[in-house]
Structures are given as C-alpha cells and as structure tokens.
Amino acid sequence: MRIVVASNPTASLGRNGALGAIVAARVADLGHEVEHIAAASYAGQLEQTRFAMIRAEALVVVGGDGMVHLGVNIVGGTSKRLLVIPAGSGNDFAAGLGIRSTQAALDGLEAMLAAVPDRVDLIRIEHPDGVAIAAGIVSVGFDADVNVRSFRFTRVPARIRYQASILATVLRPRHRTFRVRLDGGAERSWRTLVAAIANNRTFGGGIPVAPSASLRDGRLTAVFADELRYPAFIALLARVFRGTHVRDRRITVTECETAEIASDETVIVCADGEIVGRLPVRCSVMPGALQVLRLP
C-alpha cells in the first residue's frame, strides 16, 4: 500500500519533532511504500500532502487535532483512509476513536493499517471565503476566542501560549449576538459566550462541551448558552470542564443536521482548533464521510 505520513514538527510544543520520521520508518518496515511530509507551515503542509495523496491510498497524520483537520480536508469524502497518531497538545479526535496515547498508536500501527476501515461523520462548513471540513467541533464563542488569541500571542513563549490565551479570554469574555437557524427552522437570536456545533464530545484536550455527541450518529450537536453575567459565566465554565453544564437551564443542547449562524459583527470561525473563516456559516453533517483506520 502507498501511504503518506504527514507530521507536524511543532506538535506538543516541538517535543515530538522526530516522531513523524519514526512513524514513516515503521510504516516502511511493515512493507509499505511511504512518503513523509513535514512542512513548517500549515499551508505548505496542506499543499504538499494533498499533492502526495493523489497516488496514495492512506494518510497517516502525526500530531494533534490541527493535523487531523488537515487530514480530513484532504481525504474526507473520498475512498482514501486516515490513520491518526496522537502527538499534539490536544488529541480529542483520536480519543474519540479510542486511541488514547502516542504509544498505543505506535504499538497498534500494524493492526490499524491492516484493519477494515471504520466510517465516521464530518462537518461541512460553508463560509463567505469557501468551504472547509471539520472532524470535531466548530466554534464561534469562547473556544474560538481562545484560539484566535493564541495565534496572536506571538511574543508569549510557545509552551504557555494557549494557557495565557485562556486566562486572557476568561478575564475579558465577550458576548456576541448570533442569529441561529437549525435544520431550516425558525431563526433565533442568541446573545452568548458559548456557541459550538459539535461532531465530537470534547475539545481543548478533553473538555466535554457536548457530552452526548457521537462521531457515528449522522447528527450534529448544537450547544448555546444564554447571556450570563461574569460570576455566572465563571461558574458555568467550571461545569463545562466537568461536562455537567448540559443540565443547566441556561444551556441549550440540540441535535441537528444543519446549523446556520450569522451575526452583524465580524466573527472568526474556528474548527478543530484552526481558524477556517468568518460568519456567516452553514454547518451540515456529512454522515460516514471519513474512513478511519483505528485500533480493533
């Protein structure tokens, strides 16, 4: 089998820089034809990997959810398969597949490459600048603000950049007013800090923002909070980390197949921890659109 290994040399703050080469060597030792790509920039990695996948049958991504995002935007909706080696600071999609650690993935590499592909859902995101695909969660609320800040905190040391972004966002949370339409129904206005469309249960390295979400049910899970004063927001945020927020009457959790979100403000949209565009967006489920190779 011809396989492309795409790795992020900066994943997990650079601690796993050599892991991509190790994975490529192991795949080659198993008798497969391998091409390893480790570009410095996301755009370069996407372009080179997409070109390499023209002749390949499977893509192995080594890194966190950002690399998964890259992978699904190349092989999502095709007959090509994806295998994830979790090696980032956030590995929520891999965890959703039952792959709990880098070592578990390495130990099971031969079995995963020989496995019958499993099918999972994806999210199609239509926005003013184009179309993107997401594996986990699309966010325009608190989580998106954290991600945007982390990209801008270039003077903050990389090892603490995400934590600094969380702190800055907690100290200065921003309510926005969104116009939301689910499954083509009536439009509703929400002024909120928390707004997410989920395919997976968790984001941010295990935060269960949508505990009832499933990768295989052909549905998305919309999570919105009502407008909150600062003390209530801090209390709710603590509950989000435990996954108990969904029992709060100020939280709306709804299953849907499509979600349209717009705003009169300029709002950045993030997916899988990456910036993908700006509002308005239309998110729609892609049932069974990704073939994944995972541990039996």
- The percent of residues above 90 in pLDDT, for the chain, comes to 75
* CATH class given for the domain over 127-288: mainly beta
Q: Which of 59-63, 129-133, 148-152 has the lowest mean pLDDT?
A: 148-152
CATH number attached to the domain at 2-114? 3.40.50.10330
Is the pLDDT confidence value at 69 over 70? Answer: yes
Q: Which stretch of DSSP H or E encloses residue 53? A: none
Report the mean per-residue pLDDT for the chain. Answer: 92
Q: Say if residues 174 and 163 touch (Cβ distance below 8 Å).
A: no
pLDDT tens by residue, 17-41 = 689 999 999 999 999 999 999 987 8
Beta-sheet pairing, 2-7 with 33-37:
parallel
> Cα(142)–Cα(192) distance, rounded to whole angstroms?
9
pTM: 0.92
Residue 241: CB atoms within 10 A of its CB come to 13
Residue ranges of domains in the chain: 2-114, 127-288
